[in-house]
Amino acid sequence: MDFINLKKQYQVISENVNKDILNILDRCDFVLGEEVFELEKCLASYVGVSECITCASGTDALLIPLMAYNIGKGDAVFTTNFSYFATTEVISLVGAHPIFVDIEEDSFNLDPTNLEKEIVKILNEGNLLPKAIIAVDLFGQLANYQKIQKIAKKYNLILIEDAAQSFGASHNNQKSCSFGDISATSFYPSKPLGCYGDGGAIFTNDKKIAELCKSIRVHGQGADKYDNIRIGLNSRLDTIQAAILLNKLKIFDKEIKIRNKIANYYSEHLKKYLIVPKISNGNISSWAQYSLLTESNKEREDLVKYLKEKDIPIAIFYKKIFSEISVYKEDNAFNNYDKSKNISNLIFSLPMNAYLEQNEQDYIIESIEKFYK
Ligand SMILES: *Cc1c(COP(=O)(O)O)cnc(C)c1O
């Protein structure tokens, strides 16, 4: 059994992918080739925004906007305490201070009430200037943007959506990557829409910021290629990756539907034994991960060990909350993050992908039933 099943997916698309890769090899048009610009058009239209800028990774898709908005020294950027390291790493990379916000236990996403508390606290302390919020759509479910957008407006903060795990998700038919002033996704192979290497994309309706991001993507290039007008990065997308993504985009909606069907099937059968994921009204998740909660840490350790013995691949996202990761520990020694701490002790994820066979789903469910009987 496979956690992500990239091999089975490749079997479905291999004919076209191989043909397209060979064509690019023939053309020797390897970086920012025509497929990259075609992909940007398709992605922008899929998401429903005017601008899409592809780049070299999901991490860069977060970093480039921070650079474009000139966020840095002395600035506070508010983000969840429970996500993948890259979410906060980029804040530190530009020299700003990440301020961690505790989560909602139902959605695992940052809690708007706590967000406002942290903003007020930083304003009262007066040492840092609140500049931006990075909200994460963890495991594929959108954060509570109805509330987060209001808070961003009230305190005049830039809202960045970290949609690395949620491409394809939606709220009342509005698509992920359209909720921030600027939004970022990742095409790392295991993400809902993955390529065959590293890749990412930035989305916005702001043409000016989009132009800045395009310049930063290529070393801060201006009109003259060799007269750089700002400091940037090398963060271009390979043409081959773009061709792969164009092929995967064709089957993507079908895959999201199947992921949702599998998630419902899991939940229906597992809610007797475990706390199953809660999806808020109006939300459709892209199910980057299907994550469950046990009642205790000991129960999780025993269950995970049992399932691994049954050859079921299990992952734990995330064992460490940001405030307890070595590089951030000291700064957060006196902060309390009860909810994220609690969730990180109880959570684990089951195999989730559109190629998980019915008998595999049943085997996983039966194994969990056996553990509890
Ligand atoms: C994967 C991920 C990233 C980083 O994406 P890469 O393409 O691996 O650089 C950022 N944020 C979150 C929430 C992620 O899951």
- How much is the pTM? 0.98
Q: Is 328 in the pocket of ligand 1 (CB under 6 A)?
A: no
Six token digits for residue 32: 């920012």
Over the stretch 306-334, which tens digit does the pLDDT of each residue have?
999 999 999 999 999 999 999 999 999 99
| Distance of alpha carbon 63 from alpha carbon 364, whole angstroms | 38
Which H or E run contains 367?
A: helix 358-372
Residue 30 is predicted with a pLDDT of 97
Residue 225 is predicted with a pLDDT of 86
Share of the chain above pLDDT 90, in %: 99
Cα(243) to centroid(ligand 1), Å: 21
Cα(62) to centroid(ligand 1), Å: 9
Six token digits for residue 139: 């495991």
pLDDT grade for 93, boundaries at 50, 70 and 90: very high
Q: Is 58 in the pocket of ligand 1 (CB under 6 A)?
A: yes
Provide the mean pLDDT of the chain: 97
Q: Is 63 in the pocket of ligand 1 (CB under 6 A)?
A: no
Residue 286 is predicted with a pLDDT of 98
Specify whether the CB–CB gap between 346 and 295 falls below 8 A: yes
Q: Is 108 in the pocket of ligand 1 (CB under 6 A)?
A: no
Residue 71 is predicted with a pLDDT of 98
Which H or E run contains 40?
A: helix 34-47
What 3 state SS string does 250-312 have?
HHHHHHHHHHHHHHHHHHHHHCCCCECCCCCCCEECCCCCEEEECCCHHHHHHHHHHHHHCCC
Backbone angles phi, psi at 111, to 5 degrees: -90, 115
Question: What's the average model confidence in pLDDT over 57-79?
Answer: 98
**Which one, of 57, 49, 39, lies nearest residue 200 by Cα?**
57
Specify whether the CB–CB gap between 78 and 99 falls below 8 A: yes
Question: What's the average model confidence in pLDDT over 160-184?
Answer: 98
Q: Is 98 in the pocket of ligand 1 (CB under 6 A)?
A: no
Length of the chain: 373
Q: Is 114 in the pocket of ligand 1 (CB under 6 A)?
A: no
| CA distances, 215 to each of 209, 229, 286 (Å) | 10, 9, 31
| Distance of alpha carbon 194 from alpha carbon 53, whole angstroms | 16
Task: Name the CA dihedral angle for 188, 192, 193, 196, rounded to a multiple of 10 degrees.
Answer: 40
Over the stretch 209-268, which tens digit does the pLDDT of each residue have?
999 999 999 999 999 989 999 999 999 999 999 999 999 999 999 999 999 999 999 999
| Distance of alpha carbon 62 from alpha carbon 184, whole angstroms | 6
| CA distances, 15 to each of 12, 138, 355 (Å) | 8, 33, 18
Cα(345) to centroid(ligand 1), Å: 22
Share of the chain above pLDDT 70, in %: 100
| Distance of alpha carbon 235 from alpha carbon 216, whole angstroms | 8
pLDDT grade for 189, boundaries at 50, 70 and 90: very high
Strands 200-204 and 75-80: unpaired
Residue 229 is predicted with a pLDDT of 95
Q: Is 164 in the pocket of ligand 1 (CB under 6 A)?
A: yes
Specify whether the CB–CB gap between 111 and 103 falls below 8 A: yes
Cα(100) to centroid(ligand 1), Å: 17
CA 305 to chain centre: 27
Residue 291 exposure: Cα atoms within 13 Å on the Cβ side: 26
Q: Residue holding tokens 């056996």?
A: 370
Residue 303 is predicted with a pLDDT of 98
